[in-house]
Amino acid sequence: MPARGALVATLALERKIDRIRRRIRLLLAVRWSVRFALGGTLASLLALVIFRLADAPFPGRHAALLFAGTTAAGALFGFCRRVTPFQAALATDARLGLKECLSSALALRHDGEQTPLVAALLADATRRSAAIDVRAVYPLRLPREARFLAGALLVLALALYLPTLPRFQSARERAERAAMRAEGERIVRVAKELRQTLDARHADLNRRLAHNLEQLGKGMQAARIGKKEALVRLHKLTREVTAAQRQQALAGGTRSLSRAGEALKQAARAAEAKASSPEAGQRLRQMGEALRRGDTEQAARLLQELANRAVSGKLSAQERQQMAQEARQIAQALADTSLAEAARPLQEAAKQLQQGQLAAAARQFEQAGGTCQSGGASRSASQMRQVEQALQQARRQLAEAGQEKAPESGQTLARGEGDGADGRSIGSMMGEPTAGQASPDAGRGTTNQQQSGGPMGGSAPEERQAAERPRGQAPFERLYAPERVATNRIDTQVRGKQGSGRSDLTPVRGAPKRGDAYQPYYEVYSSYRRAAEEALSKEEVPATCRKQVRDYFQSLQP
């Protein structure tokens, strides 16, 4: 072959081999992406097993991200693999049964000018390569590993999806899931409302809160997070909302609270100057001091004290006048501050005190105290309050979801007939509606004596427990529930001697008699837990002890 002919043949052959090489790289990218995706899927399956063993919710979105990431990484890895022209030629030889024609030609192409047989080989290889349809020889199809990948994905999907089907869930899980979804929807709704009515002054804060709420709500709706995590995040969000309330309250109003406090201190000095009202002056001073510090909770407590004093009903006319005067002075001081909305109920309370309507005045004081408690009464503060209430409600619902429902008072417990005095219903004592109250028959209700198989009961307590216990419920432990004990006790009041000094009225409840007044464990658990949750959310429990409290209730969970 002439030298030019050999060169042309060589170039044509090299071009073809290069096309084949690119095609092979593409196929390698597909193959490695499938392999990596298989690895990612298997890793997700392993993680799913670990999460299930640890009783933690599996982050399905992370699994999807892992799958996408490994697929992309595999494709990149495959595409970046080195495929030399010689390897491409060798692979094509093997695939087409060319008996190393292309690879030999490629390896010997530079000898074409010297050896006639090599020139013939080059011509032959060029002729054969020209007839190769690269796409037909290397069709773009899924590799064998794709079958394993499909199987692994199917297993993963089933492992993720089957437990979400109600058929495969216990009653408790179904209830928890339903509660999560419902509360998630509620939180998302609250977040949207908060976003729609953004207060320009606190836009950033509220937007951030709304975003966090929405994320949490959506996560709960989609069951991306578990109950424990939801409760923890709800708790954190509640704290954020409370902090935001305070921040907004401190930032609101045209006058600062410290100036209001100063005004109240002056009023206190004036009151103390009068010999007839030293206590009023002291209270005004305390209120002034609280406002000056921006301690709205202390201010709320002081107003609550006024409410308690008003509702005690033991105020003389002069004391009512003094209290009305106090209320007016506080209202005046709070005007044009961030707590301005508390001024109106205080003015109302003053009027009602003058008219002798002590209960109504107490309610007005409580309302004012509530306003102070929430740090103010601006529109955004009101929103924040709603948000906080929604969060607390969600926490309660979630905490109770899936737990055995405590029987309504008087429904599962034995009803006894006692006289109205001795047989007072527990609900009436605790301020809760009970079957006894709802019944038209006055005096019919649940009494602890009757329930516990006391003198009016018939059988032994253990036998009654067994009979009343819901099916499948383990025997409950006897748990001391003093507030539900209706026993004879003597409440005493210690009253200080009336004089020039201050007097404190402290009702002291007598200890109940120890007897058979016990409640089933599963019956009291939810109310105790709710109380604990509230205490935790209000930060009544010291931070160092919160974990123990939470752990304790989790360990008690029936």
Residues that bind another protein (CB under 8 A): 1, 24, 27-28, 31, 83, 86-87, 90-91, 93-94, 99-101, 103-105, 107-108, 111, 115-121, 123-124, 138
Identity of the residue, 31 or 265, whose beta carbon is nearer to another protein in the bound complex: 31
Q: How far is the CB of 150 from another protein (least distance, A)?
A: 20
Q: How far is the CB of 1 from another protein (least distance, A)?
A: 5
Closest CA to 334 of 411, 410, 256: 256
Q: How far is the CB of 17 from another protein (least distance, A)?
A: 13
Instruction: Please return the burial class of 35, using the count of CB atoms within 10 Å of its CB with bins 0-12, 13-18 and 19+.
Output: buried
Q: How far is the CB of 71 from another protein (least distance, A)?
A: 19
Identity of the residue, 125 or 268, whose beta carbon is nearer to another protein in the bound complex: 125
| C-alpha 541, offset from chain centre | 19
Both structure tokens of 190: 């609250």
Both structure tokens of 353: 């005190």
Contact 299, 371 (CB under 8 A): no
249 vs 200: CA distance, rounded Å: 14
Identity of the residue, 31 or 424, whose beta carbon is nearer to another protein in the bound complex: 31
Q: How far is the CB of 96 from another protein (least distance, A)?
A: 12
Sort residue 263 into left (φ over 0), alpha (ψ -120 to 50) or beta: alpha
Give the phi and the psi of residue 470 in degrees, each rounded to 5. Answer: -60, 155
Both structure tokens of 516: 């058979």
Q: How far is the CB of 67 from another protein (least distance, A)?
A: 24
Closest CA to 415 of 451, 376, 452: 451
Closest CA to 346 of 387, 310, 314: 310
Identity of the residue, 121 or 179, whose beta carbon is nearer to another protein in the bound complex: 121
- CB atoms inside a 10 Å sphere around CB 9: 24
List residues bridging with 519 in a β-sheet.
479
Identity of the residue, 22 or 189, whose beta carbon is nearer to another protein in the bound complex: 22
Q: How far is the CB of 73 from another protein (least distance, A)?
A: 19
Burial profile 498-518: b = 16 or more Cβ within 10 angstroms, e = fewer: eeeeeeeeeeeeeebeeebbb
